[in-house]
Structure formats: C-alpha cells, structure tokens
Amino acid sequence: MESMVGDRPAAAPTAVVTGGNRGIGYAVAARLLAHGCDVVLVARDRERGEIARTSLAASGTGTVRLVVGDLSTVKTARTTAETLREECGRIDVLVHNAGLWPSQCTAGEDGLERSFVVNHLAPFLLNHGLEPLLTASRARVVQVSAGLYLRGQADPERTPYGLDFHPVRTYADTKLCNLLLVPRFAERWKDAGVTVNAVHPGVIRTGLGDRRGPLGWLIKAAKLLWKSPATGARPVARLALSEEVAGVTGRYFHLEREQPLAPVATDAALAERFWDQALELTGVTAAPPPVRGDAGDPPAA
C-alpha cells in the first residue's frame, strides 16, 4: 500500500483516529504509522490513551500524539473538535472509529442517548468542525461502519432519546443514522477534494458489545473465533491511504469490496431529516459547501 493522500504523495500525512487507544482504532493507528503517517489518537481516558501512545511510539516509524476527548455528549464532542483544530496544523486522514454498543440506555446531560451521540452526532460534528483543515489538505474521511445497519430502524423522534432503546438493535439504529449521511457529506465536499467513505471491517474481536453474566461469557467464547483487530484495520487503512481508491467518495465497503447500500440506508427523505436534526442538536450552522483549497472559518457551533 502506497502512502498517498488525494492525488499527491505525502511525506508525513497527519491522520486522526478516534477511539485509537484500543481495538480496531489502535490497529488502524499502527498501520497508518507503518505507512508513514503522523498519528493523532483521540481517546476519552487520558491514562489509557497515554499507554497506547507510548506503545505506538515505540515503533519509531512516526510521531504519535494524544488528544483527550469525550465523544459521548454534544458539548464534549464540540470541545474535542476545538482541541483538534488547535493541535493539528493539518489533517490528511480522519478515521471515525470510536463506537459504542450499550447494554442499557443512558443519556448525557444533553438528554441524548449516548450511543446515538458517539456513533452518529460526534462524527457529524467533527466533520463540520474540522472542515477547514480537511478541505485545505484534500483529506480522506473514513467512517468505520457495521453490517448490522441492515437491521436498523432509526426513528428521528425516538432514537436520539433512547425511547426505542434495545440492547442489540440500538447499535444498528445509530450506525444506520450515521451511514445515511455519508452520501450527504460526499455531495457537500465534491468540489473541495475531500472524500468520505464507510467501511464494515468484518466481525472483529474487540471489547465492543461486551456484557456481564452468562450472556457475556457466551459472547467472549464466540469472539475467540472472530478476526483480530489487525485484520479489521486493513480495509480501513486502505481507504485512508491507497491510491487504488483515490477520488472514490460516498461509497460503502464490506471489507475491501464496494457494496451497494441496502434500501434502508438510501432513503433520501430520512437522510434529510437526520441531517437537519443533527444540525439542530449539535448547534452547527453549516457554511456553504467548501471548494478545493478553501480553508475558511469553521461553521458556527
């Protein structure tokens, strides 16, 4: 895999990876480092993030920085975006890897169900908040998705507040919300040289979805047969760096194969409702679509 960003070679592209302290995020960060990137890890827990940063830095193949950021509420996600703008002189790759699969419904101080924020609103907010940096570098944005979106039944009136919470389906619902907006961002960025794609990295052995009790034991036993995080990182890193997919945008990939989205994720009216709702819930006032090389002010939030 050649280290490329957009249509130009990058000696040291800067790659931001959310949820980069463990699982697929850590493996993606390691792979990006191996291909010449300087990596910025976003992790909620400072201690765990620093352990991951130190471990990755030991490879000696690039620089690794840590940004401590909580993506589980609109307020903290906005703060994370602001910190990234301050810390990053440029962003060539943005990997939305952070994800939450809760066993019970919990809401933040904003009254929003946490997985709805982490899986859907936080990437939306970061995309807007970091847009000037993404545009200036003609960046690639990669959304780590899930094949379970097929089972999603997202409802704009209920899903944001956990009113239809289910310990399995809510994960599918919130991933569907996010996936509905990938084509919208592709359309927004089409004249700016920024690409955005979603990828299901496979069924991977991580801590996502872990449970306590007998169900938890069964899940852990099943995970012994699942693929490693390093395997899951490959299709993510490919979209982030490979010249093979340069210029490709607004697509969904199952591993390394492009796959048409199921009808549930191509409902334009539903996508518009979730886009408008995300603007309202995050307080983002979207600027006009950027053009190539436009590094103006970020949208008001």
Q: In this structure, what token pair is assigned to residue 27?
A: 């493996």
**Conformational region of residue 47, where left means phi above 0, alpha means psi within -120 to 50, and beta covers everything else:** alpha
What are the extents of the domains in the chain?
11-282
CA dihedral 153, 158, 162, 167 (to 10 degrees): -20
pTM over 0.75: yes
Q: Which is the catalytic residue, given 26, 149, 161, 171?
A: 171
Q: In this structure, what token pair is assigned to residue 81?
A: 């975006």
26 is catalytic: no
What amino acid occupies position 235?
P
Query: What is the full DSSP assignment across 221-236?
Result: HHHTTSBPHHHHHHHH
Residue-wise pLDDT for 151-180, tens only, equals 999 999 999 999 999 987 999 999 999 999
Q: Where are the alpha helices (DSSP H) in 140-200?
A: 169-188
Q: Which residues of the chain have pLDDT under 50?
A: 1-10, 205, 209-211, 214-226, 298, 300-301
What amino acid occupies position 15?
A
Gap between the Cα atoms of 181 and 76, Å rounded: 21
Residue-wise pLDDT for 263-299, tens only, equals 999 999 999 999 999 999 999 997 889 987 555 554 5
**Nearest of 99, 90, 94 to residue 118 by alpha carbon:** 99
In total, the chain counts a number of residues equal to: 301
Architecture of domain 11-282: 3-Layer(aba) Sandwich (3.40)
Q: Are 45 and 39 in contact (CB under 8 A)?
A: no
